[in-house]
Amino acid sequence: MNTTTVLLIIHGLLAVALLGAITHQAVSIWAPARKPAGASFIARARSVPGTTYGDAVVVLYLLTFVFGGIIYADYRIEVRTVVEQLGLWSQNGAFELKEHFAAVGLGLLPVYWYYWRQPLAPEHARTRAGLTTMLAFIVWWNFLVGHVLNNIRGFGS
Amino acid sequence: MTPSSRFPVFAIVFGIVFAVVYVIAVEKNFALFTYHPAIGAFGAGVQEGKDGPAMYWYGWLATSGIIAVVAGALASFLPASVTRALKPGWTWVVGAIVMAVFVWLLRNFFLR
């Protein structure tokens, strides 16, 4: 197993943790539990307080971004070349969007972190909702696109 | 950690400027530096690929990051009477617009 593969696996594991954190927070905003959590998985997921995820999302986003940035150079040589040769233009375009969406999300982190600090200011609830939804979309897009590209030419190929 | 009272102004301006400058940097290729992955070397500014493709993404991030930090820092020293008009919600709205612009710019990948 080479260094890039190890870094890719770490990048993927960090992305899974980030996906969980931002999804929990988004669910707590858009579908909060109105009464004490029931026994179901969905009810418990909805009852999670979104406030507890702000710092974790920022740290995980930064770490995932850094590891992604490190392996991006190998992707450019080893994967994108093959994707182009195979004529997989939609997949290539989806990855181009991934890199740009990730950059946009990076720029939102300071303001996201500030408005998710405790105690939460009630007048900024819409700001938190907008920022969390944006980051959730970016994280989900990037996770799925990365997964698809890894399936095309990933581990051991 | 308790941030300075100027931090929200910095963060709002940073978020908006970063997104706007980033899309301009990508479209006009204002990369602060170029990375040549085939030989593992960096070069100042925008360069042609050496022994392989050239990567500008890191350079676009650097260009946007530096300009956004400077803009945010300058804005944080403006009087409160001026910065009061800044709304934090503008950050994600501008971010969403920039993402839509990228979808438009890259549409040919999906229309082939």
Query: Which tens digit of pLDDT belongs to each residue from A62-84?
Result: 999 999 999 999 999 989 989 99
**Structural domain boundaries of chain A?**
3-152
Q: How many helices (H) and strands (E) does chain A have?
A: 6, 0
User: What is the tens place of the pLDDT at every residue in A98-152?
Assistant: 999 999 999 999 999 999 998 888 899 999 999 999 999 999 999 999 999 989 9
Task: Say which residue, A113 or A40, is predicted with more confidence.
Answer: A113
Task: Check CB contact of A89 with chain B, cutoff 8 Å.
Answer: yes
* Residue among B14, B49, B25, B18 at smallest CA distance from B35: B49
Confidence of residue A36 (pLDDT cuts 50, 70, 90): low
**Closest residue to B110, CB basis, from A74, A90, A108:** A90
Question: What is the bridge-based pairing of β-strands B33-36 and B41-44?
Answer: antiparallel
User: What is the tens place of the pLDDT at every residue in B33-73?
Assistant: 999 999 999 999 999 999 999 999 999 999 999 999 999 99
For position A37, what pLDDT does the model report?
59
Q: Locate B8 and state its tokens.
A: 């929200």
Instruction: Work out the mean pLDDT of chain A and round it to a whole number.
Output: 91
What's the CA angle centered on A72, arms A147 and B45, to 5 degrees?
145
- Is pLDDT above 80 for A23? yes
The reply to whether residue A104 touches residue B35, judged by beta carbons under 8 angstroms, is: no
The reply to whether residue A96 touches residue B109, judged by beta carbons under 8 angstroms, is: yes
Q: Rounded to a whole number, what is the distance in Å from the CA of B24 to chain A's nearest CA? A: 12
For position B3, what pLDDT does the model report?
75
pTM, rounded to two decimals: 0.93
Nearest-angstrom CA–CA distance, B111 and B107: 6
Lowest mean pLDDT, pick from A6-20, A24-38, A106-120:
A24-38
ipTM associated with this complex: 0.94
For position B112, what pLDDT does the model report?
81
> CA neighbours within 13 Å on the CB side: how many for B102?
26
The reply to whether residue B91 touches residue A124, judged by beta carbons under 8 angstroms, is: no
The reply to whether residue B22 touches residue A104, judged by beta carbons under 8 angstroms, is: yes
What's the CA angle centered on A32, arms A56 and A144, to 5 degrees?
55
Q: Which residues of B lie inside 8 Å of A (Cβ-Cβ)?
A: 3, 7-8, 10-12, 14-15, 18-19, 22-23, 26, 35, 37-38, 40, 52-53, 55, 57-58, 60-61, 64, 68, 88-89, 91-93, 95-96, 98-99, 102-103, 106, 108-110, 112
* Contacts A74 to B, Cβ<8 Å: 37
Q: Rounded to a whole number, what is the distance in Å from the CA of B100 to chain A's nearest CA? A: 10
For position A112, what pLDDT does the model report?
97
For position A48, what pLDDT does the model report?
78
For position A47, what pLDDT does the model report?
77
The reply to whether residue B14 touches residue A111, judged by beta carbons under 8 angstroms, is: yes
- Is pLDDT above 70 for B17? yes
- Is pLDDT above 80 for A44? no
